[in-house]
Structure 1
Amino acid sequence: MSMMTTLASLAITAILGQSPDATAPRELFADPTFERGFMLTAASHPVPKLEIGELRTTADPDVGPPAWRMPQWATRELLEPQRCTDAGGRWTAENRAKRVVVDRSGFGPVGLILEVRGDFEYDGRMRADGEAWPHLLIEQGFKAPIALKDFKTLTFAMEARIPSCKPAPWSEGKLDPGRHTAQVSAFWTVHNVAKGSPDYQDMIWFGIPFFDARHAIPPAHHALDVGKDDATGKFICLLDGKRFWKAPTGDGAWHRLDVDMTALLREALAISRRNGYLKHTRYEDLAIDSFNLGWEAPGPYDAAFEVRGLSMRGGGG
């Protein structure tokens, strides 16, 4: 926008006696269309170098550093830093363990495909209790935590689908539903940021499930984050998927979500308190400081997840 256009716009606003609406919803995700690519992680943490370099999704050298990180925990084969291959607007990087596509080929919203290849990851061996499992996620930390008290609405939106999901042929008859699956959820870390509170800096995982290979629609899950060496030991409050999805989410069709999370976050706090966590925390004490979305694959599944229109908007602050 030129300086003259800006001045004209301000003049018209003044004449009409109006001011810009500071309470209008605003996007809280940085780079929701992945123009700046992803910062790739190592396979485990802590390590000498947790972030190994950039996965670039454009030919523009001046787009700036990634706003998103791409965790690839417990993988057998890392995606290495590189510029994705562009084929008609589909920016792709892949190896034997995974495939990532940022799709700008159409006229609609930018799409992202995350594909895990569990057949390769597990190599004929079923995962045992206590063993880590492959992840392929996108993750964003918020430099300024999102204080829940500052917003009347927090609207999360996306369209998503599962184009494919199948277990490795050699796993037939060996899958244990208590141990093996492939699942996609959206998770937020929600911290108590009230200095002086007994719960200061404690946190919960708040989640909305999308897909679980064991279920037509994923159920609720309330438990501690345990099961592997680097687990946080914090309470997970994953809500019942039937509240968000009206049909089986693994059917290959697009499913849309557009939900205000404020009431859901209040509910998650109440559930956490009933389970003995954040017992001294008020809703006004809470802030969101990170988000992640994508695959956890504790079982040998070859599966793809596609998402578009990803957004989190805060309004009424």
Structure 2
Amino acid sequence: MKTIELLTDPQFKTGFHVLGINPTINHRKIYKHLDYQGEANPTNRPIWQMAQWWTPFDLCESSSKKVLDNYIYDTPSRHIEVNPKTGYLKMDLSGSKEYPNGVRKNGSEPWSHLLIEQDFEQSVSVDELKSLTLKLTFNIESVKDENLGLFNPNLHAAQLLWYFVIHDTGIEGSKGYGNFKEFFWFGIPLYDNRYPFIEESMHVDQGGIGTTGRLIYSMSNRNYLKEPIQFGKTYHIVVDILPFVLKAKQYALDHGYLKKHDQANYQIGYMNFGWELPGRFDVKSYIQGVSALAVLK
């Protein structure tokens, strides 16, 4: 059996290429390379991107320092700390600084993101897979409510999420996120402050500026977490998501979210991971040991 690690550079040795603040204007343009003060491994293409949608404090203007083997980047609202020797990545985001004028008041307002992203150098077809096993060690150190007593669960949340894109190369032949035309989102949620567990869901990515209008299928985190998240506790997850990916693909076809045709070839082409803060929360977390291992039939 052939196995393929979909993630290139799972230890973040090549640094992060910072995207802009506004996805509708900046799109996928890279503005800065967090290159560990020139010590990141060189590559012939950008591997990891970092999205900072809708922040008032551009990471391109962050401070930078090295402490032992950790490279640290700070803005007034973000703290990024990376150890490329161990694959450790700390991602802290302060909603109290991101929303200086108060909480979001309606669902059409954009919200803060802190995401790492990657287009896969080698995509795989889901129908050719025997398994697709995700591994991750993570710790949510704290989530502090700074919603000024105005918390509304319909508008405000702190979410730690992992997404993949399943796209049809048979209809468009596109490559790279931003060029995918026929696709859906597949979610592996880790945390949502509103629920002890996150249940399976299917909905359309819509409402805010820059949303894609595509189906989002999210599996329940009961499949890989045995208890509600305890702050400060380290979790190690290992889960084969292939049965859920196939279920989501069939749902998308049956409900018209994907076009049916004989040349369809559904591949896994992209992932992102990190915090989305529709709410005014201060969050601290780290990850390590990230992997997406595909086993072919």
In structure 2, C-alpha distance between the alignment counterparts of 1:143 and 1:316, rounded to whole Å: 16
Q: Aligned pair 1:160/2:107, yes or no?
A: no
Q: Which residue of 2 aligns with 1:6?
A: none
How far is the alpha carbon of 1:274 from its aligned partner? 4.4
Q: Which residue of 1 aligns with 2:149?
A: 173
Q: Aligned pair 1:217/2:194, yes or no?
A: no
Q: Structure 1 residues 262 and 299 mapped into 2: Cα distance closer, same or farther (>3 Å)?
A: same
Task: Indicate the RMSD between aligned Cα atoms, in angstroms.
Answer: 2.5
In structure 2, C-alpha distance between the alignment counterparts of 1:119 and 1:83, rounded to whole Å: 20
* Farther-moved stretch of structure 1 (79-88 vs 253-262): 79-88
How far is the alpha carbon of 1:145 from its aligned partner? 3.0
Q: Structure 1 residues 206 and 38 mapped into 2: Cα distance closer, same or farther (>3 Å)?
A: same
SS at match of 2:151: coil
In structure 2, C-alpha distance between the alignment counterparts of 1:235 and 1:287, rounded to whole Å: 16
How far is the alpha carbon of 1:167 from its aligned partner? 1.2
* Farther-moved stretch of structure 1 (264-273 vs 53-62): 53-62
Q: Which residue of 1 aligns with 2:170?
A: 194
How far is the alpha carbon of 1:144 from its aligned partner? 4.3
The structure 1 residue matched to 2:291, chosen from 288, 311, 315, is 311
- TM-score (structure 2 length as normaliser): 0.88
Query: Does the CA-based 8 Å contact 2:198-2:221 persist in structure 1?
Result: yes
Query: Does the CA-based 8 Å contact 2:164-2:271 persist in structure 1?
Result: yes
- TM-score (structure 1 length as normaliser): 0.83
Structure ID, larger Rg: 1
Residues 10-43 of structure 1 deviation map (CA, whole Å, 9 limit, x = unaligned): xxxxxxxxxxxxx342322111100110000110
Which amino acid in 2 is paired with 1:145? S
The structure 1 residue matched to 2:280, chosen from 284, 300, 312, is 300
How far is the alpha carbon of 1:282 from its aligned partner? 8.5
In structure 1, C-alpha distance between the alignment counterparts of 2:84 and 2:41, rounded to whole Å: 19
Q: Which residue of 2 aligns with 1:118?
A: 95
Q: Which residue of 2 aligns with 1:57?
A: 36
Q: Structure 1 residues 146 and 26 mapped into 2: Cα distance closer, same or farther (>3 Å)?
A: closer
In structure 2, C-alpha distance between the alignment counterparts of 1:41 and 1:81, rounded to whole Å: 13
Q: Structure 1 residues 311 and 61 mapped into 2: Cα distance closer, same or farther (>3 Å)?
A: closer
**Structure 2: tracts of 5 or more residues without a match:** 174-179
In structure 2, C-alpha distance between the alignment counterparts of 1:282 and 1:224, rounded to whole Å: 25
* Farther-moved stretch of structure 1 (244-253 vs 146-155): 146-155
Mapping for residues 73-152 of structure 1, pairs under 5 Å: 73-80=53-60, 84-103=64-83, 109-129=86-106, 130-152=108-130
SS at match of 2:98: helix
SS at match of 2:25: coil
Residues 78-137 of structure 1 deviation map (CA, whole Å, 9 limit, x = unaligned): 1116784211112110111111111358xxx42111111100111141102201001000
Percent identity of equivalent pairs: 26
Q: Which residue of 2 aligns with 1:185?
A: 161
The structure 2 residue matched to 1:290, chosen from 270, 274, 293, is 270
In structure 2, C-alpha distance between the alignment counterparts of 1:61 and 1:174, rounded to whole Å: 43
**Structure 1: tracts of 5 or more residues without a match:** 1-22
SS at match of 1:209: coil
